[in-house]
Structures are given as structure tokens and as C-alpha cells.
Structure 1
Amino acid sequence: MSEIGRSGAAAGLLLVALAGAAVGESGALTSRESLGQALYFDVNLSANRTQSCATCHDPQAGFADGRGGAASLGDNGTSLGDRNAPTAAYARFSPAFTLTPEGKAVGGQFHDGRAATLADQAAGPPLNLDEMGMASRAQVLERLKENPSYVAAFAKLYGPQVMDDADAAYDAMADAIARFEETDLFAPFDSRYDRHLRGEYKMTPQEELGMTLFFSQQFTNCNLCHQLARVPAAKNETFTNYEYHNIGVPPNADLRARNGKGAGHVDTGLLENPAVSDPAQAGKFKTPTLRNVAVTGPYMHNGVFSDLETVVRFYNKYNSIAESSRINPETGRPWGDPEVSGTLSMTELETGPALDDRRIKALVAFMKTLTDRRYEHLLTD
């Protein structure tokens, strides 16, 4: 194994040790999960050997991109995406992408569900020229063959001929990474909210108010999209129904200026999924989990908002007639127009009354309780 590969694997093993959820012993690649762990942290699987899965889905940053940008910088050091990297935590619970007979989209990976499953998602970034930048599956196979431990593990876990075929080896790589992402390391369910449900943590009055508001069918619209189980305060709630909505997010003008796409570019969201052709789906994006939301900003699919409270105030503008609700607190200017305006989910957006400052701050306080224990040190007042 190269020096870079060793350091990446060591980082993965350190994380597993810290989380108390080992998937392998002494670094041995004895299971598909432990192989996936090594691959997840291996920068040698990018063109310039500078980027791994963990670069944009950093386990030290809630499995989101901890480098601070609205979108992720690619392996080439110049390419800048147009969407914010979603967290890989709890991603295993998203069902495979499907379209109902009525045309409603549910599940999948990425903001537009174009990857039906975790393995499909893992297969995407290495060959994306704006991300990890590898030219072909054959090139990836050659990188895998550089590592004798990989050669032995792939043969043992996926069959002795798997490394003879680039497609077979690539699919096995994606499967192994997905197996790693399906481990409890990515979904410990040990936040203050979970501990509260187990009687191990007493919420503050503000957090309690926020939880009541969040699950209320009368006072907020949060649970219409950010609740999977239809029983309030259910165990192992993922805080998303995996459906797609257009909530009127404005373009991120600063990001567009830096990534070269320009003000005229329009991200049509779900309509960019090859499985979707109905123009009525334009501008819709998958409802994200709220697990670790307080430590995985910036927010929205394009990272246009920096602060979690801003997100709540953005939603509140649909129900409030107060003059102050028309202003983005981060810019001091009116909220930008929706990037796609004709398909807004107005029924959901206009459900519930306007929120005052006390209730807005209580909702933020509650969402902070959804932070995994290992990330609680990242929380700010």
C-alpha cells in the first residue's frame, strides 16, 4: 500500500476506534465492510491522489464537506460544483429511487435521486471529472491493483476473477463502500434527542418547546416533510420522508460567480434525474435528513444559507405578514426569487401559522438536539 493509502486507511481505523464501531480487526480487510472502509478513505482513487470519499463526506464534519464552501472543490483543485454535498450519515435509510403511479418521486441518493441506491451513489464521484476525476473504470482498476491488500481482499470477497474485468471490479468497489456506509458508524442514533427518548437526557424548556412545535400538526409544517414515522417522537426517526419538493430556494449567486456557471444557469433539480421527464418536477429536491443538521451547514441544495436559523426564517416567510419576515437576515436584503418558480409546494409551505422569534429559536434549539454525540462539541450557541 502506498504511503497515502496507508494514511487514509489509518484515518478510517482511527475514526472507527473513536466511534466504538469497528468493522475490521487490526486493519485487516476481512469483510466487505472493512474493505469499503479502506476504499472510503483512499485518496489514490482520485486522478491526482488528493481526494477520497471522506474529503466531501468527512466523518469529522458530520459526513458532510467540512472545508467550508457552499459546494465541493474537485480533485483537480479548480473545479467547483453547483450543489452542496449532502451528509452521508443516515443515508442508508433512504429507499431506492422510485416513481409512484401518480408520478411522485421518493428516495434515491444525491439531491435529485439520480443514484437509485447507496452503491449507485458510491460509483458516481470517482468518474466525475469535476470531483475525483478518474478517466475510466479501467483506470480505477489499475489504481486498485497497485494495492496488494486490495487485490487479495477483492478476490476473497468478490471472487478470484473480479479483478480481471474493469466493470466487475468497479461494481465491487462501489458495493464495498456502500456496505461500509450501511454500518452503524454512520447512524449511531445517540443524539440528545435519542437519549431523551431513552430517559437518559432531560431537554431544556426551549428544546422541549421546539420538539412540541416540530411534531405539532397545528403550529408548524416541519413534520409534513421532515418526519418519516407518523408517530411523534418515534425511535430511530430519520427526519425526512424522502420525498421531493420545490420550496423556492433562490440561486446562490456567489457560488455561480465562482464556479463559472453564471447567473443564467438554472438547476432544475429532480428533472435532471434521467428517470424523470415530467416538467412539473422541475426545481424539486429530495427532503434531507435533519440528523446532524446543526453541524453540517451551509444549507439548502446549493448552500445559499449559512445559518440554521436563517433556514427556519426562510420557511416562515410563507406564513408571516411581518415586514421583517421579507428580509434575509444574512444579507439584509429581501429573499431572492425562487430559481424555479412554477412548481412550488405551496400547500406544504403555507400550512401552519407564522412563528414569532421565540418559537423560531426553540425550533433551532430542538434541531441541535439531533446532533450525534460525537459531534456535540461542534455545536455553537
Structure 2
Amino acid sequence: MEAIQKTISPFLSSNITADSVSTYLSGCISYLQQHPDFDSFNRLHFLTQLALPLQRHFGKLVTDLQLDLNTTDGVLNYKAADIFSPDALNLQAFPGGKNYSNTALVQLGKQLFFEPGLSGNNKVSCVTCHDPAKHFTDGLPKSLTIDGHSHVARNAASLLYAGYQYGQFWDGRAKSVEEQVKTVLNNEQEMNGGEIVISALLARKTYYKIVLDSIFPASIDSINITEKVAMALAAYVRTLNFRNGRFDQYLQGNATVLTTHEIDGFNLFMGKAQCGTCHFAPLFNGLTPPLYNLSELEVLGTTSTDNLLKPELDSDAGRIRIFPISYYDKAFKTPTVRNTSATGPYMHNGAFKTLEAVIEFYNKGGAVGMGLSLPNQTLSARPLNLSKEEVSDIISFLHTLEDKIPNQGPVTFSTK
């Protein structure tokens, strides 16, 4: 803050906005000096009363003085009020994000999301594993395969905020939502669909073909049917960013919507519990600031069950199967904790049934903290020493990140 103050000092006497910037900047520095203790620092007060107002006024000052210089390749929207504004991150800057603005494509994707005809047995749709009523998960440790008799290798993560990532799937192997969708459509255990199945669907339900032809001109021959369907589904998935939880309402000015325990939980999450060192604001996922140009993976040493009295490492090797270097052994993507209160069970293997168990795993320092051997663990092995009350407060805060899901029923197209 002092460095910023010195750097922008030539501009702090230019207008009324500059006076506000100077006032909030001095206020930030003063508050930081008066509250130096890491664990007891009231981060939410600092954010809402000082840092975010500073950002809002500073952004206006930059605009007024025509000093705009976006160094994030368009990922950050400098016109947004602050980093917690719903439009702070530009969705179109993420892989495939430009399709998000095509309304017709989004509506088609929404219809196809509920369409069992995309699967080889005409029984399974996207909603089978990503149910809007369950915050776009299925509530199972691992989803059932298409035959209904076995399970896939990993937990079905929620699709909420999936568009704000540079890698999809738990191991980050897909570089866009489109690529992820195509992988699932063609996977024999999941949808078992693909070009032949989709072509048969379009022959039966001609309104899909009519809509596709209206979106994709006949001159575009290089895009096959599976890719077009994947683009539509991905466009719909990118709309699943609601940002309407009570925490968001609080940051937007509703000071009565959070309890003292929930506020304490946020301060613990970002402070003593160190959750915020991997689950970065504002989306609380692995999208790393300040440039937000990388989706982070971590090695936690997730156990095979949530019995932490007899811990055993999960056998899933993670990202090393994609990139065979030791750093990626048992590495998995850091998901968002938005909506975790509604999307259990947890971890890539779905082995943790409750948030209490998840936090206790971190409280113990992951695998290494529990005495298991994992030389490349990126999670600190030092115990967090969180009390039961502190764990309860953190969970209370996580509940404030739960979105209210608007009606996501399928749309119906007119062929007239």
C-alpha cells in the first residue's frame, strides 16, 4: 500500500476522485499498521470498508486521467467496480469463451443438456451427473457408468463457474469446456455417443438440425456435428455463474445478511486456516491472481477414505498420467469452494462425506501431516490447530457461498 501511495502520488491532487483515493489509501495503511497480527486481522472489515472502496475510486481515477493499461490480456475487466463485482473477470477471455455471447447457441446448449438422445443408450444426459437441483452434481462419490452397473474413476465436480478455468477435469487434461464435453460424449463409460449417435438424434428431432444450421452457416464445413453440439453445451455451461449467495450480497452492501460466525469464518478461511492460499478470491478456486492466467493444481495427499485415524493414500495418480513428471504425482485441480455446502461428497474420489471431514484433513496437514509418505506434497504439512468452534465458523462461511439456482428446465424450440 505504501508503494502504491508513493507511485501514484503525482496524481493524488488532480480532482475530487483523487482526494477519495488518497483518503482510502491512507486509511488502508493506517489499518494495516494498527492490526499487524495475521490470525486476528479482520479481513472482511478491511475489504468492505477500505480496500474495495479504494479500488472503486482508484479505477475511476485511472479512467478520468485516461491512464488505462490492461496487462492481463483482457482477463480482468478494468471497467468493473472491484474484484468481487460479477463482471470483474471477463469470461470471453477464457478458452472458448467467445461462444458465450451467442444467445442462440446458449439456448440450444440448454436444451441439449437435458437430451438423453446424445447418449448411446438414449437414457443418459448431461443432467444425469450434473443435476441443477443438486447444484450441477449428482451427489454420488463417483458417478454411475452408462450401463448403471459400475462407477467412473472420479467424482463429478459441479459445473458452476467451470468457464473460469484453463483446465477441465480433475487432472486439467482438457483445455476448454468444449474439449471436456467432446471427451464425455465419446467416452464409452459416460455418454458413449459421438458423431453417429448425434447424427441419428438430429435425424429424429429435426428442430435441432434447423437451429444448428441457423447458427452455423453451410460455408463452415470444417466443424463436424459433435464439435457443434459441444460448442452449444459449452456455451450453456458458461452461463452457470450466478454469484448470488449471501456472501456476494454482503459485498454488494447488504450488511445484515451475514452472522458474526460467518464473518469470523471468512477471516479464518483467508487467514489462520490458509484456505485462501489455494482457493483464490473472488471465485475461491485455483484461478491464480494477479493476472488470473493460470488454473492451479495441488498435491494434497488425499486419502482413500475419510477415516483419518487410519489414513491410506488414494491410489489415483492424478495429472502425472497426462504429464509424466514427478511434480504431478497425485496432483489435482483446485476446484471452487463456492456451493460446496450443496455439492458433497468431496475430493476427486468423493471419499469425504462432510465438510467437517474435509477441514479436518487440512487441519492435520494432509497426507504428510498424518505421517504418510508423499515427497512432492504442496500442501503444508504443519497442523493448522483449528478448534471445533473455528471449524464450525469456516463451514458457516462456506454456506454463504451457496448460490440460489434459477430455473434450469429445458427450453423448447419452434420450427416455424
| Paired position in structure 1 for 2:111 | 38
Once residues 103 and 401 of structure 2 are traced to their aligned partners in structure 1, the CA distance between those partners, rounded to angstroms, is 33
Q: Aligned partners of 1:264, 1:357: CA distance in 2, in Å? A: 25
Corresponding residue number in structure 2 for 1:156: 214
Specify the SS of the correspondent of 1:373.
coil
Q: Which of 128, 138, 141 is equivalent to 2:196?
A: 138
Partner of 1:55: 128
User: Which shifted more, 366-375 or 109-118?
Assistant: 366-375
Determine the C-alpha separation between the residues in 2 that align with 1:267 and 1:58.
25
**Separation (CA, whole Å) in 2 of partners of 1:79 and 1:158:** 38
Normalised TM-score (structure 1)? 0.71
Equivalence for 1:85: 156
The AA in structure 2 aligned to 1:205 is T
Q: What is the alpha-carbon distance in structure 2 between the residues aligned to residue 34 and residue 59 of structure 1?
A: 16
2:186 maps to which residue?
Answer: 127
Q: CA RMSD in A?
A: 2.7
Segments of structure 2 that go 5 or more residues without pairing to the other structure are: 1-101, 288-294, 407-416
Name the SS for the 1:92 alignment partner. coil
CA distance in 1, matches of 2:258, 2:314: 44
Q: Deviations over 1:218-255 (max 9, x none)?
A: x2211110114xxxxxxx5344333111111112599x
Percent pairwise identity:
31
Q: Distance in 1 between matches of 2:386 and 2:103?
A: 53
Q: 1:187 to 1:151 in 2, by over 3 A?
A: same
Task: Give the structure 1 partner of residue 299 of structure 2.
Answer: 246
> Partner letter of residue 174 of structure 1?
A
Aligned partners of 1:90 and 1:238 also within 8 Å: no
Matched residues in 2 for 1:240 and 1:119: separation? 20
Question: Cα offset for 1:30?
Answer: 7.1
Flag the 1:316–1:270 CA change in 2: closer, same or farther, 3 A.
Answer: same
1:51–1:132 CA contact under 8 A, matched in 2: yes
Cα contact 1:113–1:286 (8 A) shared by 2: yes
TM-score (norm 2): 0.65
SS of the equivalent of 2:163 reads helix
- Residue 187 in 1 paired to residue 234 in 2? no
What is the deviation of 1:142? 2.1
Q: Secondary structure at the match of 2:224?
A: helix
Q: Which runs of 4+ in 1 moved over 4 A?
A: 335-338
The whole-number CA distance in structure 2 between the counterparts of 1:213 and 1:253 is 23
Going from structure 1 to structure 2, the CA distance change for 1:282 and 1:318 (only over 3 Å counts) comes to same
Q: Are 1:268 and 1:284, in contact at CA under 8 Å, matched by a contact in 2?
A: yes
Tell me how far apart the structure 2 counterparts of residues 124 and 175 of structure 1 sit (CA, whole Å).
13
For the 8 Å contact 1:249–1:337, the answer to whether it is kept is no
Task: Please point out which of 362, 368, 385 is paired with 1:315.
Answer: 362
1:253–1:368 distance in 2 versus 1, CA, 3 Å:
closer
Task: Mark the structure with the bigger radius of gyration.
Answer: 2
How far has the Cα of 1:373 moved from its partner?
Answer: 2.5
Q: Is the 8 A contact 1:247 1:349 kept in 2?
A: no
Pairing 1:97-116 to 2, within 5 Å after superposition: 108-116=167-175
Distance 1:265 1:315 in 2: 16
> Is the contact made by 1:250 and 1:336 (CA closer than 8 Å) also made in structure 2?
no
